[in-house]
Amino acid sequence: DIQMTQSPSTLSASVGDRVTITCRASQSISTWLAWYQQKPGRAPNLLIYKASTLERGVPPRFSGSGSGTEFTLTISSLQPDDFATYFCQQYESYTWTFGQGTKVEIK
């Protein structure tokens, strides 16, 4: 299976900060990568697919980049609604694998 490693596991930030989360794949996945946001007690929501394509309705302060094995999710100016856990997911293979998650906390 393709392993996905996210960093950091936890991130403390303030409203207005620029935040970057990294996701690394154990082998090349081209741009077959998605990012999801999950809030406590809720199901995950799609933010970005194909590494950099913003899902409809997602605010443009979210952006994704990367290809091959290294990817980033950036929030340009953190808003109160953005405090949540973020997961990356590869879909290059039939069996999807997810990163372990990055919790964005209020500093």
Partner 1 sequence: VQLLESGGGLVQPGGSLRLSCAASGFSVESYAMTWVRQAPGKGLEYVAGISGRGGSTDYADSVRGRFSISRDSSDNTLYLQMNSLRAGDTAVYYCAKASGLVASGSYLTDRGQGTLVTVYS
Residues forming the site for partner 1 (CB under 8 A): 1, 32, 34, 36, 42-44, 46, 49-50, 87, 89, 91-101
38 burial type by CB count under 10 A (0-12 exposed, 13-18 middle, 19+ buried): middle
Using the minimum distance from each CB to partner 1, give the nearer residue, 16 or 43.
43
Smallest gap from Cβ 80 to partner 1, in A, equals 23
Smallest gap from Cβ 70 to partner 1, in A, equals 18
Per the DSSP assignment, residues forming a β-bridge with 13 are 106
Smallest gap from Cβ 77 to partner 1, in A, equals 26
